């Protein structure tokens, strides 16, 4: 593949390849001197048309730890504010001869639009409600490490419950694709208005009853309500939502002692997750997810730029 626009374009062995590649960077990042020079001389542009803390910073750190020159374009301070179109912005970035462009955008499909216009690899850092592929990859890597699984391992038979705003969540979509490809058994839980109509076709079990959806889970992934993407859907009030769908300390206390808790962030503490759960030292993987994020993004930047660098090791097929 030339680009990384979504997990939907990746085969199971390609997902595992990226996870395995990230292992070396996870190890490097735990050292004092976290530096390799594999991308020395390359220029990476992070073009973020929507807010981000984790994804933007971890892509920047990932590029710098691999020796690349990294520049960030924030839409709020760019000529997008003067009315420049997405295509014109893409052509402008392309003319600067970037070696990779990382895009976050509020519109589903915007990343593919840019990928079709530029000469270098494009990596999707989250587009609307569509996909957030590096989030799903970092989540799989985090689970694999938390369970002590060796490189090359998939997640066969692992029972994962994803709860929250499934309808608007690119994290849910990419994770459903990735987790099912790796053999996990996925249950998704949301209020009726926040469950996609096509969910049954995605190979997961839908539920509107969080307590039932938690039965038998090994991993619980909590998502926030994405108010910025809601247009008139009826959702419960924050208090009702916490009561029905929140991973409260009370619900957490009833789970089996091995159950692990994840959240991609940003968290709305006290709504979808209680602080005592989010900060649980042994069972919450939230900060380990962030750590995995840097390693995964290093792997993706390395692998996606290999063709241009004349380095073998990726599937090489065009498209996506
Ligand atoms: N998980 C995630 O994408 O976080 P940011 O929006 O802070 O990048």
Question: Ligand 1: which residue has its CA nearest to atom 3?
Answer: 55
Q: Are 80 and 105 in contact (CB under 8 A)?
A: no
Average pLDDT of every residue of the chain: 94
- Our mutation pick for probing the ligand 1 site, out of 54, 103, 169, 262, counting the most ligand atoms within 8 A of Cβ, is 54
Spatial distance between the Cα atoms of 66 and 305, rounded to a whole number of angstroms = 12
Any idea which residue has 């090359």 for tokens? 152
**Same domain assignment for residues 213 and 69:** no
312 CA to centre of ligand 1 in angstroms: 31
Residue 50 lies in a domain: yes
Chain segment 16-34, per-residue pLDDT in tens: 999 999 999 999 999 999 9
Give the closest residue to 58 by CA, choosing from 138, 114, 121. Answer: 138
Q: Is 2 annotated as belonging to a binding site? A: no
Spatial distance between the Cα atoms of 63 and 100, rounded to a whole number of angstroms = 10
Residue 219 lies in a domain: yes
pLDDT above 70 as % of the chain: 97
**Same domain assignment for residues 212 and 254:** yes
Nearest ligand 1 atom to the CA of 293 is: 1
Q: Are 182 and 154 in contact (CB under 8 A)?
A: yes
**Same domain assignment for residues 24 and 164:** no
Residue 320 lies in a domain: no
Q: Is 92 annotated as belonging to a binding site? A: no
Q: Which two tokens stand for residue 212?
A: 């039932």
Residue 233 lies in a domain: yes
Residue 119 DSSP code:
S
**Same domain assignment for residues 127 and 141:** no
Count the Cβ atoms, other than its own, within 10 Å of residue 76: 10
Residue 1 lies in a domain: no
Residue 263 lies in a domain: yes
**Same domain assignment for residues 139 and 200:** yes
Q: Is the CB of 265 under 6 A from ligand 1?
A: yes
pLDDT value of residue 233:
66
pLDDT above 90 as % of the chain: 88
238 CA to centre of ligand 1 in angstroms: 21
Spatial distance between the Cα atoms of 58 and 142, rounded to a whole number of angstroms = 15
Residue 15 lies in a domain: yes
**Same domain assignment for residues 56 and 87:** yes
**Same domain assignment for residues 101 and 25:** yes
Residue 318 lies in a domain: no
Q: Is the CB of 267 under 6 A from ligand 1?
A: no
**Same domain assignment for residues 46 and 126:** yes
Chain segment 222-276, per-residue pLDDT in tens: 999 877 777 766 678 889 999 999 999 999 999 999 999 999 999 999 999 999 9
**Same domain assignment for residues 274 and 297:** no
Q: Is 104 annotated as belonging to a binding site? A: yes
Q: Is the CB of 129 under 6 A from ligand 1?
A: no
**Same domain assignment for residues 84 and 187:** no
Model confidence at 319: pLDDT above 50: no
Nearest ligand 1 atom to the CA of 51 is: 6
Parent domain of 304: 7-131+289-309
DSSP 3-50: -B--GGG--HHHHHHHHHHHHHHHHHHTSSS----TTTT-EEEEEESS
243 CA to centre of ligand 1 in angstroms: 25
pLDDT value of residue 316:
46
**Same domain assignment for residues 105 and 183:** no
Give the closest residue to 195 by CA, choosing from 230, 223, 227, 166. Answer: 166
Q: Is the CB of 52 under 6 A from ligand 1?
A: yes
Chain segment 196-223, per-residue pLDDT in tens: 999 989 999 999 999 999 999 999 999 9
pLDDT value of residue 318:
38
Total number of domains in the chain: 2
**Structure confidence at residue 13 as a pLDDT band (50, 70, 90):** very high
pLDDT value of residue 235:
73
* Arithmetic mean of pLDDT, 98-120: 96
CATH code, domain with 74: 3.40.50.1370
Model confidence at 97: pLDDT above 60: yes
**Structure confidence at residue 306 as a pLDDT band (50, 70, 90):** very high
Q: Is the CB of 55 under 6 A from ligand 1?
A: yes
Q: Is the CB of 175 under 6 A from ligand 1?
A: no
139 CA to centre of ligand 1 in angstroms: 12
Q: Is the CB of 316 under 6 A from ligand 1?
A: no
**Same domain assignment for residues 99 and 140:** no
pLDDT value of residue 286:
98
Q: Is 55 annotated as belonging to a binding site? A: yes
Does the ipTM surpass 0.85?
A: yes
Question: Ligand 1: which residue has its CA nearest to atom 6?
Answer: 52
Least confident stretch, 63-77, 85-99, 267-281, 301-315: 301-315
Q: Which two tokens stand for residue 107?
A: 């519109």
* Arithmetic mean of pLDDT, 154-166: 97
Q: Which two tokens stand for residue 141?
A: 């890597």
């Amino acid at each position: 593949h030339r680009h990384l626009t979504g997990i939907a374009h990746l085969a199971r062995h390609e997902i595992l390849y990226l996870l395995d590649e990230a292992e070396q960077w996870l190890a490097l990042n735990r050292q004092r001197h976290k530096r390799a020079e594999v991308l020395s001389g390359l220029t990476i542009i992070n073009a973020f048309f929507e807010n981000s803390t984790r994804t933007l910073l971890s892509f920047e750190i990932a590029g710098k730890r691999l020796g690349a020159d990294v520049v960030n374009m924030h839409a709020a301070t760019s000529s997008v504010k003067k009315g420049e179109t997405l295509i014109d912005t893409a052509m402008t970035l392309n003319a600067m001869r970037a070696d990779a462009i990382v895009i976050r955008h509020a519109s589903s499909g915007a990343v593919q639009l840019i990928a079709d216009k530029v000469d270098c690899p494009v990596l999707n850092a989250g587009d609307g409600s569509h996909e957030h592929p590096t989030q799903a990859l970092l989540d799989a890597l985090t689970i694999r490490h938390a369970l002590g699984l060796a490189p090359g391992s998939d997640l066969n038979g692992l029972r994962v419950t994803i709860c929250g705003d499934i309808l608007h969540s690119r994290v849910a979509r990419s994770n459903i694709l990735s987790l099912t490809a790796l053999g996990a058994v996925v249950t998704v839980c949301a209020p009726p208005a926040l469950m996609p109509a096509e969910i049954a076709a995605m190979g997961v079990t839908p539920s509107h009853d969080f307590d039932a959806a938690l039965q038998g889970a090994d991993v619980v992934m909590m998502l926030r309500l994405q108010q910025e993407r809601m247009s008139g859907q009826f959702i419960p009030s924050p208090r009702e939502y916490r009561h029905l769908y929140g991973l409260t300390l009370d619900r957490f206390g009833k789970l089996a002692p091995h159950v692990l808790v994840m959240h991609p962030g940003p968290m709305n503490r006290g709504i979808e997750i209680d602080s005592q759960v989010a900060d649980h030292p042994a069972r919450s993987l939230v900060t380990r997810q962030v750590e995995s994020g840097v390693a995964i993004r290093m792997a993706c930047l390395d692998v996606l730029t290999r063709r241009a660098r004349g380095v073998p090791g990726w599937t090489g097929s065009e498209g996506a």
